[in-house]
Amino acid sequence: MSGKRVEIKGGAMKARIAAVMISLFMIAVAVTAHGNKKHVMGILQSISAEAVTVKTGDGKIVTVRLTATTMYVMRDAKSADGTPAKFSDLTTGQRVIIHATPKGNDLLADEVKFAPVTQH
Protein backbone atom coordinates (compact mmCIF):
# COMPACT_ATOMS: atom_id res chain seq x y z
CA MET A 1 0.00 0.00 0.00
CA SER A 2 1.16 3.53 -0.65
CA GLY A 3 0.25 4.79 2.80
CA LYS A 4 -2.70 6.87 1.59
CA ARG A 5 -5.86 6.73 3.67
CA VAL A 6 -9.04 5.83 1.92
CA GLU A 7 -11.95 7.77 3.28
CA ILE A 8 -15.40 6.22 3.18
CA LYS A 9 -18.18 8.71 2.70
CA GLY A 10 -20.86 8.98 5.41
CA GLY A 11 -23.61 7.28 3.39
CA ALA A 12 -21.46 4.25 2.56
CA MET A 13 -20.34 3.93 6.19
CA LYS A 14 -23.95 4.04 7.42
CA ALA A 15 -24.91 1.36 4.91
CA ARG A 16 -22.09 -0.90 6.12
CA ILE A 17 -23.03 -0.38 9.77
CA ALA A 18 -26.67 -1.16 8.95
CA ALA A 19 -25.63 -4.34 7.10
CA VAL A 20 -23.55 -5.49 10.09
CA MET A 21 -26.40 -4.77 12.51
CA ILE A 22 -28.89 -6.69 10.35
CA SER A 23 -26.47 -9.63 10.13
CA LEU A 24 -26.04 -9.71 13.92
CA PHE A 25 -29.81 -9.59 14.40
CA MET A 26 -30.32 -12.50 11.98
CA ILE A 27 -27.72 -14.58 13.81
CA ALA A 28 -29.43 -13.87 17.15
CA VAL A 29 -32.81 -14.91 15.71
CA ALA A 30 -31.36 -18.14 14.31
CA VAL A 31 -29.74 -19.05 17.63
CA THR A 32 -32.94 -18.54 19.62
CA ALA A 33 -35.35 -19.93 17.00
CA HIS A 34 -35.97 -23.15 18.95
CA GLY A 35 -36.85 -21.38 22.20
CA ASN A 36 -36.67 -23.89 25.05
CA LYS A 37 -36.17 -26.90 22.76
CA LYS A 38 -33.22 -29.21 23.36
CA HIS A 39 -31.18 -31.04 20.76
CA VAL A 40 -29.93 -34.53 21.46
CA MET A 41 -27.39 -35.78 18.90
CA GLY A 42 -25.68 -39.14 18.86
CA ILE A 43 -26.11 -42.85 18.20
CA LEU A 44 -29.29 -44.79 19.08
CA GLN A 45 -28.46 -47.29 21.82
CA SER A 46 -31.93 -48.64 22.59
CA ILE A 47 -35.48 -48.24 21.30
CA SER A 48 -38.81 -48.95 22.96
CA ALA A 49 -42.36 -47.81 22.26
CA GLU A 50 -42.03 -45.26 25.08
CA ALA A 51 -38.49 -43.89 24.66
CA VAL A 52 -35.14 -44.00 22.89
CA THR A 53 -31.71 -43.90 24.48
CA VAL A 54 -28.94 -41.98 22.73
CA LYS A 55 -25.20 -41.99 23.36
CA THR A 56 -24.02 -38.44 22.66
CA GLY A 57 -20.68 -37.44 21.21
CA ASP A 58 -19.29 -36.74 24.67
CA GLY A 59 -20.28 -40.21 25.90
CA LYS A 60 -23.41 -39.23 27.88
CA ILE A 61 -26.45 -41.50 27.76
CA VAL A 62 -29.67 -39.52 27.27
CA THR A 63 -33.20 -40.94 27.33
CA VAL A 64 -35.85 -39.13 25.28
CA ARG A 65 -39.51 -40.06 25.65
CA LEU A 66 -41.57 -40.60 22.50
CA THR A 67 -45.12 -39.30 22.17
CA ALA A 68 -48.05 -39.86 19.84
CA THR A 69 -47.13 -36.61 18.07
CA THR A 70 -43.40 -37.35 17.61
CA MET A 71 -42.47 -36.93 13.94
CA TYR A 72 -39.83 -39.12 12.27
CA VAL A 73 -37.65 -38.00 9.35
CA MET A 74 -35.06 -40.11 7.52
CA ARG A 75 -32.15 -38.05 6.21
CA ASP A 76 -31.31 -39.50 2.81
CA ALA A 77 -30.34 -38.42 -0.68
CA LYS A 78 -33.97 -38.22 -1.82
CA SER A 79 -34.66 -34.79 -0.29
CA ALA A 80 -32.66 -32.02 1.36
CA ASP A 81 -35.23 -31.97 4.18
CA GLY A 82 -35.39 -35.75 4.52
CA THR A 83 -38.15 -38.23 3.86
CA PRO A 84 -41.12 -38.74 6.19
CA ALA A 85 -40.60 -41.93 8.17
CA LYS A 86 -42.19 -43.87 11.02
CA PHE A 87 -41.18 -45.29 14.39
CA SER A 88 -40.60 -48.75 12.92
CA ASP A 89 -37.83 -47.31 10.70
CA LEU A 90 -35.63 -46.70 13.76
CA THR A 91 -32.76 -49.12 14.36
CA THR A 92 -30.07 -49.17 17.02
CA GLY A 93 -26.80 -47.82 15.67
CA GLN A 94 -28.43 -45.03 13.68
CA ARG A 95 -27.12 -41.48 14.02
CA VAL A 96 -29.95 -39.23 15.27
CA ILE A 97 -30.74 -35.60 15.93
CA ILE A 98 -33.72 -35.26 18.24
CA HIS A 99 -35.55 -31.99 18.81
CA ALA A 100 -37.15 -32.33 22.24
CA THR A 101 -39.17 -30.29 24.70
CA PRO A 102 -38.17 -30.42 28.37
CA LYS A 103 -41.07 -31.33 30.68
CA GLY A 104 -40.15 -31.76 34.32
CA ASN A 105 -37.25 -34.21 34.39
CA ASP A 106 -38.14 -35.66 30.97
CA LEU A 107 -37.31 -34.75 27.40
CA LEU A 108 -40.26 -35.29 25.03
CA ALA A 109 -39.34 -35.86 21.38
CA ASP A 110 -40.96 -33.48 18.91
CA GLU A 111 -38.93 -34.75 15.97
CA VAL A 112 -36.45 -37.57 15.45
CA LYS A 113 -34.19 -37.15 12.40
CA PHE A 114 -32.05 -40.15 11.58
CA ALA A 115 -29.71 -41.48 8.93
CA PRO A 116 -29.80 -45.01 7.57
CA VAL A 117 -27.29 -47.35 9.17
CA THR A 118 -24.26 -47.62 6.92
CA GLN A 119 -22.79 -51.06 6.30
CA HIS A 120 -18.99 -51.29 6.47
> Domain spans of the chain?
38-114
- Does 99 have pLDDT greater than 70? yes
CA–CA gap between residue 63 and residue 36 (Å, rounded):
18
Answer with the residue of higher pLDDT: 8 or 107. 107
Q: The pTM is what?
A: 0.69
Task: Specify which residues 56 forms β-bridges with.
Answer: 42
Nearest to 101 by CA among 37, 54, 48: 37
Q: What share of the chain is helix, strand, coil (3-state, %, to 5)?
A: 20, 40, 40
What's domain 38-114's superfamily in CATH? Copper binding periplasmic protein CusF (2.40.50.320)
The pLDDT of 44-56, averaged and rounded, is 97
Residue 55 has pLDDT above 90, yes or no: yes
Of 30-34, 49-53, 102-106, minimum mean pLDDT range: 30-34
Quick check: 52 pLDDT over 60?
Answer: yes
Bigger pLDDT: 85 vs 6: 85
